[in-house]
Each structure stands twice: as C-alpha cells, then as structure tokens.
A and B are shown apart, each in its own frame.
Chain A
C-alpha cells in the first residue's frame, strides 16, 4: 500500500474521472435517474469508460493522459492543497462504499484519511433535505445533527444550502462527528457562500469527494455524489424534501443498498414536505427526534443517550404565552389568545428566547424543537 493511501492505478482512475467529468455531463444529460444509474458508466473499466464517453480525438487525449500520468506529481499536487487520497484497496477506505457496484476507485479527503476512517467506522446517519427549507426544517435538521453527533454518531451530508448546512451546523455543535460529500473536488467549498462552514467541517471532520482537487461541479455529479452519501450512512433521513428532488434520489440509492430510509413528517399543505410525507406513506421510518434514529442504529434502549435535561418549570405568564404559540405566531395574535397586553407578551417572548424555548421566525415567534424533545422520556 502506498504511503498516501492510494495505489497508482486507483489514483490514475480518479484523475481520469476528473478529466472526463465534462464528457460525462454531455453523455448523461441533466438528471440521470437511479434506475438507469448513469448507465453504470462509472462502473466501467478505464478503457471502456473512455470508449463510451469520447469521440476519436478525445479518446487519444484521454489515453495519453493515462499513459503520461505521473503519480508522484499527482501526490505532490494533493499535498499542496492538503488533500489525501484513499483508494478502495486501502484499509482506510470507508467499508460502506464497497456495497456500491460503481464505488469510486479513490476518495479524495480533506481533513485527514485517519479521521475519515474513525468517522466512517462509527455508526453513521446521512441527513438530506431541500435547499429551500422552512424554518421548521432548519430547526429539525439542526436538532438531529446535534443529537446524533452528541451520541457519537457520524452525520453525513452534502454541504448544500438549507437542510444539509443546518445538519452540519448541528453536528458541529454536538461534537463534530461530521462528513461532507461534495460534487466537486474537496479542495474548495460548494456553494461558495458556505466557505466558513466548509472550513469548520474540514477542521473538525472530513470533506470527501470522488473528484480530484480543482474539478468544478457538473450537474450529473450531484446524483453521483448522492450515491456516495447514501452508501456512507447506515440510515438515510430526509428532513423536508419536495417531490421530485435530489433528496429522494439519495433515498432510492439508500433503498437499493439495503439501507434504512427515514423521514421527518411535515405539514401536508407545504410543498417542502411533499417528498418526505410520501416517503412516510410508502413505509419509511418515522423520525420525531434524534432518539428515533439512535434506536434504529442501536436497538431500543441501547442508544448511548445524553442525559435529558428536565423541562424547565415556567412561571406565569411565560407558560401561557408558550402555550399560545401554535406554529409561527405574531405578538398581536399571542396577545389576543392570552388576553395579555402586547408589552407583556413581548417581555415574555424576550425571556423565553433567552431560555431557548422560542425563536424568531420572519414575522413572529416559534417554539424551538428542543423543549419538546427534552420533555420526552
């Protein structure tokens, strides 16, 4: 085994996939469905892959890349961006990926191959969801991420806007057992606006990708990335997803791999919950909190649960105000429901916010998910 954790052939394959990425985009179109799974193109050996994707001229170019590939220079390039390569023959290669018949030959890791081994060796849950979540979805993703990582479970997600980012943030709060799978090289954030989150994940967890550093995103790379996410977690949980959506593609991968699919119930009138509610109707595991996922992973009662704090005892009028919040409520509405003066409602909300029991939501206040879970035994 080579010192950087990838043998020459696998490293070369990784570079070839990066080189062919724009060709694959043209060949696969915009949204490859898991049924026709990228035509299993990524499972083909090098020569056939080139044959399948390139015209004569491009073929020569690809072959010359393979022939002139210099592993020493590739390793040097990896070293300069502090990315390691882990190939499927290495001990540090995540075992979950072996279940894929088109598993990436090599995984590029920012954050340390050793840490990746530790993170993927532990039980892992993949959290996915819409890029346009409701505040409720964001809150739930965060609570799940926090609860899972606090219990020592690795949280896998895709660093995307919305649910993904919230799950990552929760996991970082809970202790940092977090893996982000990117649809581009692992050397930079995608989307760019998540640069700070990317850096935190990279410092405290791992950022991985099947593409070598510097390869930009292509549309087909997102569903391809989703197969890796599905394979890394033993459970895939969806927090808010529309139908159809990338999150549902991840779920289909997870089902194909024999992983458990779980979903958080949402309002049936909200588009953002259409996909998750359909999953639940079709038999996905219902998730009402991190406990449900821990139970799925460890069996009933066996979960290493963090001590549950006692629900805080509220004096009047805090309890009344909290009880009057249904969904998102404005101060005027709460005042009307409780009969309190608006100033008194503001004061109660200010206090409840400091206590972490409510939070602001655009035009009003909502209960946070935390106390509801704390109240469960």
Chain B
C-alpha cells in the first residue's frame, strides 16, 4: 500500500514542501530511503523503527520503500522522522490514510517515540499555510512559534498520541500564538548608566533616529561597547510583523524555542569571524550574524581587526538589506536589514593623539585597513575621549533610554510619513536618486553643502551621506526643512582622513 505525508525542509529562512511517500509491499524485509537523502536522513530508518516498536506499534516485516520528493533536492537533517513514521503507519494500515491530506507534520523522533523540537518550525508553519494545509503537527516545544503563522498548530508529545489524533480519538487544542508585548526597553541596558560622553550619546541618538551606521573611535575603556549595547533600547520597539520576521530567522538558527522575540536583537560577533559566519553560508546555508541582527543592531567591535574578506562580504547585505548566498545551482536569500554600529581604537596602541606610542607606518597601516571596504558605508563617526574622572564620581546624570527613545520614535514617525511608498524605512535607506526630493534642504543648507563639497573634497557618496544625516537631525528637531546648522552638524560627524594621509 502507498501513503503520502507532507513535511518541510528549511531553505534559507523559508520552509520548502517535501512529500514523503512510503510504499509497503510483500518481499524480503527491508527499509530503503530514496530521493537524495544524506547520512543524517538515512539514520531516520533506525529511529523510526525503534520509535514504532517502543510505542506498541507494528513495524511491517515487508519491503518498505520511502521516497522524498522532489527527488532532485538534497535532504539533510532529522526533521523527516515524523513524516516517515506517519506515512509508514498509513501505508501499513495502522492509521486511516484519509487523515493525512491537509495535514502537515514536522518533528524529530526519539527512540522511545517522543517528538523532539526542530529548528525553523515557524518557517515550516508558514510554508504549510502557503501549501494549503489546514493543520500542522508540531513538537510541543515549537507549538507557540508555529501558531504565529496563522495555521492550526497541534502540539503532539509522542507517536502514541499522534496515532490517536489520526484516528480521531484525540483532538488536541491548537496552540495559541504567544502574546506580543514589546517590553519598551525593559530588561535592556539603559543609557542612564553611561556617565559623561554627551557627544557620543547625541551621535547614538541620531544613528537610532535615522537608522544610520555609526563608528565610534576611542581608546579602550572609553565606553564604546557600553554605548553600543544601549542602541536596541533607544530604537522604537519592533512591530508585530518585524517581531515575527526576527523570530523566524532566530528559529531557523535554533536560537528560540517556542516564544516570540519581541526585542530588537543585538549581535556582537568576535573579530575572528569568517565571511560565511558574518553573512551566512556553509554547506547547508545558515543565517550569518548580519541576518541574526535583522531588525536590530550588528555591532563590530575592533573593526580594524576583522578580516578584509569578511568586511567586504558585509557591504552588499548592508546596502540591500538582504544577504544572498549561492550554492551550486541554488541561490538562497537571508533577510539582513540590520543597523551597523562599529568601534575601533584610534591607533594600534589605542592611546591616541599625544600619548600614542605607535610608529607612523603602523598607524598608517591601521588606518588603511579601516579605510577601504567599509568606511564609505559609515554615516556617522564620533570620537570618544577618555572619560573625565569627575564624570565617573558624580551621580548618574545621564538621560534614561526611555526619554531618548521617545524622541527617536517621533523622528521615525516623521520619516515614515515622508517616506511612505518609497521603500525606505528610515532616512538611512533613502535611495540616492530620491534624496534631494525627500530631504528638502533650505537654500542656506544647500549653500553650506556646496561649500563643504568644494572645501572638504566630499565625494558624491559623502555628499549624499551628509544630506541623509542632516535630514535625521532636522527630524529630531521637528524641523520640516534642513537648515544650515543641521548640515553643519552632519559635517561634524563625517569621517575625515587624518592629515598627511593624502599625497
């Protein structure tokens, strides 16, 4: 007899439908899996056999052939266990075959018959809904996230219960999606902890308000990492739609179990990370750090220490908001709309300015490493001096994150009104062609920009960057047009080469 069960595999961050066909007929007892299974999938045979027998079900002493369709796609992982077991039970007449159409299953089996959680349950549930399934059987641990896809997600703990469900003897309550309660920065580190560094706080606020990339240059201990960690707390809380996107990526990477991620992520990979680790890749492509930071902040500490290859690879995802990985004949896309924050020392020794002990060649080399690939993607540069001793001793005078977030949110709202329909979410994303219309500089401001262009040798790209930042500063102030002082301030944050660098 023949039976077919529907399950899913993960491609990038999307589920892809896989039909598991099982044929049981007379012959020498054997269990074969075809359809390009790799070793991990072939091992499923042993798990299925043991799980069936340990659940007081029959494993047919006949010739069993399983096919995973489409057959050209390589199959990897343990998520096919449950579908294999279900199709086998139906093909051997232990459950009614008519229960299978319209039902998707996913889950890994233990030898005892328990259903174990899988990665990417949310993506699978989305794919099930798209494929027209009304219900999906999921491991109990994944039930909450799967319910977010707007499909009946049935939490089933083990194979015995699943047989009861298929016979109609048991009707589990579909899981309820977890409540969406963005916590308004609660639990995140607060800006009030930061003493002094008024200038950097201002830069942080502008970066958050416009989604601009930010580079902090300062000696060790100046508070660069501390400030960067406070970025998620001053960004507007994610919308439900964003939260679901973030949850999906994290679920595929195996970072969530069941819940909904309602905070903006903050990812700070170590500088020894490889290019695939940063932008996604591997034999079975997995999301990289920039995708895990989707909707949040990607923080690169010690920017100059990252490999050039890794930084190069980061350019395209930052530009497009998505990361594309090509493997053989397949092209896989990961979402990567992250805000970049970076930090570095002023020179190799880190002391900077007058106390620096680095040779001129060493400093030049260090700056060269920085200047190439990524620096022309940085909108704001801000220098942090060592913290004045007085600032540390006094009471924490800093403004708290909630107050800053309020200003950021209202600046974002102004941008959203202006940018509706343009595809950009914030000022940092305004396309160069639309910039002049969207930015609305006053005549004064235009003149200042032209002066900056002539006297500072701004490039066309640098010019656009200054205009975007100026637009955000104006939005923070609630100004309709960009005024001269906004341009001046934006020019103050530009990244300037050290003198003597240009011939």
A residues at B contact (CB < 8 Å): 131-135, 138-139, 142, 161-162, 165-166, 169, 193-194, 196-197, 200, 270, 328, 330-333, 335-336, 341-351, 353-354, 356, 359-364
> Chain A's nearest CB lies how many Å from the CB of B2?
71
* Known pairs A165-B500, A345-B199; A364 contacts B385 (CB<8 A): yes
> Chain A's nearest CB lies how many Å from the CB of B84?
62
* Known pairs A138-B499, A345-B199; A363 contacts B492 (CB<8 A): no
* Known pairs A132-B360, A270-B354, A343-B473; A350 contacts B489 (CB<8 A): yes
Partner of A361, one of B353, B451, B503: B353
Interface contact A363-B500, CB-CB below 8 Å: no
> Chain B's nearest CB lies how many Å from the CB of A328?
5
24 interchain pairs, CB-CB under 8 A: A131-B360, A132-B359, A133-B360, A142-B499, A328-B353, A330-B199, A330-B385, A332-B196, A335-B198, A342-B199, A342-B201, A344-B489, A347-B485, A348-B488, A350-B487, A350-B490, A353-B456, A353-B491, A353-B496, A360-B499, A361-B353, A361-B498, A363-B352, A364-B353
* Known pairs A165-B500, A166-B500, A354-B451; A346 contacts B199 (CB<8 A): yes
Interface contact B346-A362, CB-CB below 8 Å: yes
> Chain B's nearest CB lies how many Å from the CB of A296?
26
> How far apart are the CA atoms of A331 and B198 in the complex, in Å?
9
**Residue on A nearest B485 in the bound complex, by CB:** A347
Interface contact B383-A342, CB-CB below 8 Å: no
Interface contact A362-B352, CB-CB below 8 Å: yes
Partner of B354, one of A134, A343, A347, A351: A134
Interface contact B488-A350, CB-CB below 8 Å: yes
Interface contact A139-B489, CB-CB below 8 Å: no
**Residue on A nearest B454 in the bound complex, by CB:** A354
Partner of A346, one of B352, B384, B388, B493: B493
Residues of A within 8 A of B488 (CB): 346-348, 350-351, 354
Residues of B within 8 A of A360 (CB): 383, 496, 498-499
> Chain A's nearest CB lies how many Å from the CB of B357?
10
> How far apart are the CA atoms of A369 and B346 in the complex, in Å?
23
Q: Check: B448 CB closer than 8 A to any chain A CB.
A: yes
Residues of B within 8 A of A169 (CB): 500, 503
Interface contact B489-A343, CB-CB below 8 Å: yes
Chain B residues 315 to 354 lying within 8 A of chain A, measured CB to CB, are 346-347, 352-354
Contacts between chains A and B (CB distance < 8 A), count: 126
Partner of A354, one of B360, B456, B503: B456
**Residue on B nearest A346 in the bound complex, by CB:** B492
Interface contact B360-A162, CB-CB below 8 Å: yes
Interface contact B361-A196, CB-CB below 8 Å: no
Q: Check: B455 CB closer than 8 A to any chain A CB.
A: yes
Q: Check: B174 CB closer than 8 A to any chain A CB.
A: no
Chain B residues 17 to 46 lying within 8 A of chain A, measured CB to CB, are none
Chain B residues 192 to 223 lying within 8 A of chain A, measured CB to CB, are 196-202, 217-219
Interface contact B503-A362, CB-CB below 8 Å: no
A-B pairs, 4 with minimum CB distance: A350-B492, A350-B491, A346-B492, A330-B385
Residues of B within 8 A of A131 (CB): 360
Residues of A within 8 A of B490 (CB): 350
Beyond the given A353-B492, A362-B356, could you list 19 further A-B residue pairs with CB under 8 A, ordered by the A residue number? A131-B360, A133-B360, A134-B354, A161-B360, A161-B361, A169-B500, A328-B353, A343-B473, A344-B485, A346-B202, A346-B488, A346-B489, A347-B488, A353-B456, A354-B491, A361-B353, A362-B347, A363-B352, A364-B383
Residues of B within 8 A of A333 (CB): 385, 388
Interface contact B498-A342, CB-CB below 8 Å: no
> Chain B's nearest CB lies how many Å from the CB of A352?
9
**Residue on B nearest A361 in the bound complex, by CB:** B353
Q: Check: B165 CB closer than 8 A to any chain A CB.
A: no
Q: Check: B182 CB closer than 8 A to any chain A CB.
A: no
Q: Check: B452 CB closer than 8 A to any chain A CB.
A: yes
Best-surrounded residue of A142, A161, A165, A347 (most CB of chain B within 10 A): A347
Q: Check: B268 CB closer than 8 A to any chain A CB.
A: no
**Residue on B nearest A134 in the bound complex, by CB:** B354
> How far apart are the CA atoms of A347 and B491 in the complex, in Å?
7
> Chain B's nearest CB lies how many Å from the CB of A332?
5
Interface contact B385-A332, CB-CB below 8 Å: yes
Residues of B within 8 A of A361 (CB): 353, 498
> How far apart are the CA atoms of A361 and B346 in the complex, in Å?
10
* Known pairs A132-B359, A135-B499, A270-B354; A347 contacts B489 (CB<8 A): yes
**Residue on A nearest B466 in the bound complex, by CB:** A350
> How far apart are the CA atoms of A138 and B502 in the complex, in Å?
13
> Chain B's nearest CB lies how many Å from the CB of A341?
8
Interface contact A331-B383, CB-CB below 8 Å: yes
Residues of A within 8 A of B438 (CB): none
Q: Check: B364 CB closer than 8 A to any chain A CB.
A: yes
* Known pairs A331-B383, A342-B198; A354 contacts B448 (CB<8 A): yes
**Residue on B nearest A327 in the bound complex, by CB:** B354
Partner of A197, one of B217, B487, B503: B503
> Chain B's nearest CB lies how many Å from the CB of A166?
6
> Chain B's nearest CB lies how many Å from the CB of A164?
11
Residues of B within 8 A of A335 (CB): 198-199
Residues of B within 8 A of A342 (CB): 198-199, 201-202
Interface contact A354-B452, CB-CB below 8 Å: yes
Best-surrounded residue of B198, B448, B493 (most CB of chain A within 10 A): B198
> Chain A's nearest CB lies how many Å from the CB of B279?
31
Residues of B within 8 A of A133 (CB): 360
Residues of A within 8 A of B352 (CB): 362-363
Interface contact B353-A362, CB-CB below 8 Å: yes
Interface contact B219-A363, CB-CB below 8 Å: yes
Interface contact B199-A359, CB-CB below 8 Å: no
Residues of A within 8 A of B499 (CB): 135, 138-139, 142, 359-360
Residues of B within 8 A of A351 (CB): 448, 488, 491
Residues of B within 8 A of A193 (CB): 361, 364
Residues of B within 8 A of A165 (CB): 500
Interface contact B385-A363, CB-CB below 8 Å: yes
**Residue on A nearest B495 in the bound complex, by CB:** A360
> How far apart are the CA atoms of A200 and B451 in the complex, in Å?
27
> How far apart are the CA atoms of A356 and B359 in the complex, in Å?
28
Interface contact A363-B383, CB-CB below 8 Å: yes
Interface contact B198-A354, CB-CB below 8 Å: no
Residues of A within 8 A of B384 (CB): 330, 363
Residues of A within 8 A of B199 (CB): 330-332, 335, 342, 345-346
Best-surrounded residue of B347, B361, B499 (most CB of chain A within 10 A): B499
**Residue on A nearest B493 in the bound complex, by CB:** A346
> How far apart are the CA atoms of A341 and B485 in the complex, in Å?
13
**Residue on A nearest B381 in the bound complex, by CB:** A360
